[in-house]
Amino acid sequence: MTKGLFLDRDGVINVDKGYVHRIEDFEFLPGIFAFCRRASVLGYKIFVVTNQSGIARGFYTEHTFLMLTTWMKQRFVDHGVHIEAVFFCPHHPSEGQGQYLQACECRKPQPGMLKQALRDYDLEASECLLIGDSSSDIDAARCVGMPSVKVSRNDIDFTQLQAVLK
């Protein structure tokens, strides 16, 4: 059975500075690459699940987000890590503009992105692990029966965190 490691983005992969959408503001947290390499070696497929209401709010476009995502994935590749897929929610239930104004199923704590990943990649939730810095991350995981670890935003001891990988 394939294992999945689900990472929130802002505050877990990169420093959450609020609506990060430019390469120059994207600061990887120390230890994230080694942690993901270790997870890969242990057989985890790595996924990113991220709320991006900055798109809904009109702070940046989906295209800008996707360009940054391509760059981010390449930095992981540079460090020997393959990111299987990045799932993002561009909506917001009250602040969204136009098509992005939605009470959707994908914005965490809703479990839509996790459900889609489990389905698309034929994963068993109990064999996966989610790492997030918000209660909404943890609540989404709980919805699908996925184990999770809440870490402190922008301040993660990834060496210590390796102990949760199996």
Active site (catalytic) residues:
8, 10
Binding test (CB under 5 A) with Mg ion, winner from 4, 8, 35, 112 = 8
Specify the residue, 39 or 48, whose C-beta has the smaller distance to Mg ion. Answer: 48
Nearest approach in angstroms of CB 112 to Mg ion is 17
Which listed range, 7-15, 17-25, 90-98, 156-164, lies at the site for Mg ion (CB under 5 A)? Answer: 7-15
Handedness of CA 102, 107, 112, 116 (dihedral sign): positive
The answer to the question of residue 10 lying near Mg ion (CB under 5 A) is yes
Q: Are 28 and 163 in contact (CB under 8 A)?
A: no
Burial code (b: 16+ CB inside 10 Å, e: under 16) for 131-143 equals: bbbbeebbebbeb
Q: Which of 27, 51, 39, 32 minimizes the C-alpha distance to 112?
A: 51
Nearer Cβ to Mg ion, position 11 or 96?
11
| Token duo for residue 157 | 């001891």
Candidate segments 6-14, 63-71, 92-100, 113-121, binder of Mg ion by CB under 5 A: 6-14
Decide: is 11 part of the binding site for Mg ion (CB under 5 A): yes
The contacts of residue 53 (CB under 8 Å, 6+ apart) are 89, 90, 91, 92, 95, 96, 107
* Site map 117..136 versus Mg ion, x via CB under 5 A: ----------------x---
Which residue, 8 or 138, is less far from Mg ion as judged by CB?
8
Distances (CA, A) of 59 to 20, 83, 150, 152: 10, 26, 27, 26
- Asked if 108 interacts with Mg ion (CB under 5 A), we say no
Residues that bind Mg ion (CB under 5 A): 8, 10-11, 133
